[in-house]
Amino acid sequence: MKTASIVIPTFNRAHLVVRAIESAINQTCPCEVIVCDHGSTDNTPSVVAQYGGKIRYIRREEDNGPIVCWRDGIEQATGEIVHINYDDDWIKPTFMEKTIAKLDDDVGFVYTNVVLHYQDRDETSILFRHPPEIGRMEDIVRYLLQAPLTISPSCAIFRKKDALKNLLSQIPNAQGIYGKDSGVGEDLLLFLLTSRDYPKYVHVPEPLACFLYHADSITVGADLAGNAQDLVDAYANAKLYYFSLPGNVPPPKMLQNLFFILKWNYLSGTLVKNALRLIRQPSRGMRKLRGVLTRTSIDKMFVQDQK
């Protein structure tokens, strides 16, 4: 069996990181667990110390941004396969076992469905409605290029060599509040750049990853602060960098987008559901469709529920 490492980058989240660590330790297959702490000023060191030899704790006194922390943890990992588990997320016990089993030689990455947990209310929702199991890499690339944000690496696994190669330290020309050292865009490019070397990807439809919906997360915080468009623009900059590379999927035209939307919804089993929604609420449905085709609004046609 392939060796695996779970990397938990953390910064001043002692109150949350325990759940991430516990979920990593309790995997049904053996995994190295690395907590990488860059500059926390809270009680993270004492919280982590209670786990002793069950984990590896990497502590740096200076905070140089999330990407440096992510890469540090990955560089220190001894496993062939790595999973980046953000400190406010956690995974179910079979996450690593079930995803590693799908990572064949021609598969670039595997990601699972997600349960979204709301911090301020006793409620959960399932995040994705994506086609299940093995898919063509060009299809997930089309999805990622049309979606306003990205699939989070926190519900995916990659080969260590691919993560080190494709997790850029910085996106060229990154600027704005979600530019340099923000971690926004580099996560998307980890998927897009990895896609260049493999013909297939796998989506496990079972919700094996858990995300916390709370004000301190980047996506939720951007929405609450009125910065949602700045976040979308940052991801658009990452896509422009991807398009600038030779041999990549070109920007799709409107009819190509429409065909892809129909195909994606058909394969994910939501074509009829979305068609009925369009019939029942035609004005709202057409606004969504126009937004997807022109990339001017946040795409919610590809998900069951969104943060």
Structurally, how many domains does the chain consist of?
2
Q: Scan for tokens 């995994």, then name that residue.
A: 31
What does pTM read for this prediction?
Answer: 0.86
Within-domain flag for 228: no
Cα separation, 211 vs 118, in Å, equals 9
Assess if residue 169 is contained within a domain. Answer: no
251: confidence class by pLDDT, cuts 50, 70, 90: low
pLDDT band at 267 (very low <50, low <70, confident <90, very high): confident
Sign of CA dihedral 58, 218, 82, 91: positive
The amino acid that residue 294 corresponds to is T
End-of-domain residue from the set 57, 90, 123: 90
| Lowest mean pLDDT, pick from 71-75, 228-232, 264-268 | 264-268
Q: Over 60: is that where the pLDDT of 236 sits?
A: yes
* CATH number for 13: 3.90.550.10
Query: Is 141 a residue whose pLDDT tops 70?
Result: yes
Which pLDDT value is given to residue 295? 42
Question: For residue 247, is it within any domain?
Answer: no
d(Cα 212, Cα 218) in Å, to the nearest integer?
11
CA–CA separation, 56 and 280 (whole Å): 54
Residue 275 has what pLDDT? 59
pLDDT at 288 over 80: no
Is position 275 within any domain? yes
Contact of 11 with 87, CB cutoff 8 Å: yes
Mean pLDDT of 4-28: 97
Helices (H) and strands (E) in the chain, counts: 12, 10
Tell which of 44, 64, 90 closes a domain: 90
Reply yes or no on whether the pLDDT at 61 is more than 80: yes
Give the DSSP per-residue string, 49-69: HTTGGGSEEEEESS---HHHH
Distance CA 90, CA 100 (A): 17
CA distance 194 to 56: 27
Exposed, middle or buried, 199 (CB in 10 Å: 0-12/13-18/19+)?
Answer: exposed
Residue 304 lies in a domain: no
* Domain finish residue from 90, 119, 141: 90
Structure tokens at 204: 């496990």
3-state DSSP assignment of residue 297: coil
281 vs 201, higher pLDDT: 201
Provide the pLDDT for residue 252: 66
Let me know if residue 64 belongs to a domain.
Answer: yes
Is residue 7 within 8 Å of 49, Cβ to Cβ?
no
pLDDT band at residue 282 under the 50/70/90 scheme: low
Secondary structure (H, E, C), 99-167? HHCCCCCCEEEEEEEEEEEECCCCCEEECECCCCEEEEHHHHHHHHHHCCCCCCHHHEEEEHHHHHHHC
Residue 271 lies in a domain: yes
Burial call 260-297: b when 16+ CB within 10 Å, e when fewer? bbeebbeebebeeebeeebeeeeeebeebbebbbebee
**What tokens appear for 94 in the block?**
């079979």
- Identify the three-state secondary structure at position 33: strand
Examine the pLDDT at 307 and tell me if it is beyond 50: no
Using the structure block, give the residue that is written with the tokens 């994705």. Answer: 128
| Residue type at 174 in one-letter notation | A
For residue 153, being part of any structural domain is answered with no
Bin 27: left if φ > 0, else alpha if -120 < ψ < 50, else beta.
beta
User: Which domain covers residue 282, as residue numbers?
Assistant: 254-294
Confidence band for 220, pLDDT divided at 50, 70 and 90: confident
294: pLDDT strictly greater than 50: no
pLDDT band at 298; cut points 50, 70, 90 = very low
